[in-house]
Structure 1
Amino acid sequence: MRPRTIRSILWTLAVRTGFALGLPGCAELAYYRQAAVGQWTLFQASQPVAAVLADPTLSVELRQRLETARDLRAFASTDLALPDNGSYRSYADLGRPWVVKNVFAAPELSLEPRRWCFPVAGCLSYRGYFEAGAAQGLAEELRAGGDDVYVADISAYSTLGWFDDPLLNTFIGWPVGRLAELMFHELAHQRLYVADDTAFNEAFATAMGRLGAERWLERHGTPREREEYATDIRRREQFLRLTADARERLAAVYASSGDEAAKRTDKQRILTQLREQYRELKQGWGGYTGYDRWFEQDLNNAKLAGVSTYYRQVPAFLTLFEREGRDFAAFYRVAEAIGQLPPPEREARLRMLSAPFRLAGKPVPLVSSD
């Protein structure tokens, strides 16, 4: 494991949690303290997977999950050309169902997310916290200022290879396909990260997660695991279709010449319709309730904008993978070249690659239902 110097810890926190380096004020110092303590606590809780497996009191279920994760980790490097390092070769139980809480915000009558800009990381469309109270404090401040706010429970994040990211209790029990997605998604961040472009980074990692999971299941999954994953993908695509339609209708309202009162009324009407459409949709899901919490809490511009920011460019990377002959090493090379383009050219290139999906009316796949 790489030495955990204060300098490298600060850099990492800036990139993945929105930690502002070198900025004055008590608020930033408090943010520094919770971020540093949270990251250090995660490190301290981590144990090598081999050591955890050697514990005779380990539950059968956790043993099986860690063994599966160990196989997925090896597959990531040997078959997907993802970084071969110490990440996901240790395990930590944090005693809670999330590792960080990310705060998203958007104006009351806009789908453009708020961004927090930092010296190293560039601008991010969220701000992350290890302390739930601190996240809620920022959320309340933003709400008081009139913003729509969404506080998301995040199951995992990547330190971009600066540290060895551990497997966590927050996701180790997920179905095999989703576990594979998450691990490959986070390792993809170590493979390619473009400063100041959240949409690019998350779309690349999301595509990589799905492509890698499909490759794993094709070669090593059981028929039940493959069917379970296919069902999960179908649900997520239906979910996205609903949210994309709602975003389009909201965007039209916000861009209209109506007064603010009328826009607020239309906004609530569209969000109410979205909930009703979801209830109708899930009637065909056989009792699956995985998206209930998403629709019940903080259904607003911040949440809908987050879906768009993270996933709208995924089709570009799926198309790119096909064009490169489904070869991961070649796919990475071209993706890296696109990432080096000036932002306007990068955006134009990704729009062009997304065209086959738009013309076919295909939805963008999601990674999780946080």
Structure 2
Amino acid sequence: MIRRAARAGLFVLLVLSLGLTGLAALRISRDPLIRPFVDAGADQIAAAMEQAMAQEATPERLTLVMTRLLAEEPRNWLAIQAVEAVAEERRIALPEALVVQRAAMWEADSSYLVQAGQCATCVWDAGTCTISTALICNAPIQLTPIGDVVGLTKAGSAWATGGDVDEIDLGLSIIGLGATAAVLASGGTSFTLKAGAGMVKLARKMGILSPRLVGMIGDVIRRGVDWQMVGRMDFSDPAKLIRADVVAPLASVASDLGRMGARLPMGETLHLVRYVDDAAEARRLANAAEALGPKTIGAVEVLGKSRFLRATVRLSDVAVQVGVGLVGLLLSLGGVLGGLAQSASLRVLRRLARDPVASR
């Protein structure tokens, strides 16, 4: 009686497991947007990042990262100072020789004459800008509608005369002006899009955009811009120059960079742009920036991009359901098979017990 009840229970568990697994699989098959990992919440990101930093932010790791940053040309003092902040927070003393080297390099890089020369070069060629000089010398133009108007004018003139059109600069200028108009009309709700588009323009001129992101932007602009209107230099309504559905991935990246800029200083946001390969990574970096605030740069430098981004996602509910269903299914199958094996063994033993002669 007890064995029958146990078998019935295992059978019910097996049916439930099959049903749960099948339901989850059906949802996944019908909805391609369902993924095993989804964006984590702010508290989850903060907790996961703290755990990762506790493991990775060792004296050896911080020394290695600082040595690499000091060897770069030009040096990224924003990243250097962020790593120093991590060391201070965790009460880790960097090697004395490294501290002396850092002080000497700061003295060399921060002199007035050096900064003045860098600024003049940065204004002329944004590709020579460091993050610090870009914010002082180039951002006042690139991050305002003035830079967008200049970009549209250059593109229209080049198109009309048969010259080479800087498609990426044009597309970002169109998005920037369109967002500016939306800001004025909506009272500011499109500000993050405008700020992000300007940030991408500046990062692109500095040469710090990833090749994948540059490729995506170029493809979007080629397919999403009405080049006939550009040729007529009809910029009266920038929104009419683009196909919103095609430009959506680029607009998403720009909006997420704008979210970063709303939480972090402009220089830190510009630093993070180099880690963006696509819209999904821009969103996850923005989520992390909103959760971590001023600790974002130090965390990404110490952990590296891959480990940093892993801390911004969690298992989806569907993935958990599938996992639970599979575990239950395996346990149920194991129980059923074990019960069948036990029953078969008992039958053999009873048969042998009834006929001891045959067993000899």
Could you state the TM-score of these two structures normalised by the residue count of structure 1? 0.22
Question: Larger helix proportion, structure 1 or 2?
Answer: 2
The structure that has the greater radius of gyration is 2
Higher relative contact order (CA 8 A, sep 6+): 2
Question: Larger strand proportion, structure 1 or 2?
Answer: 1
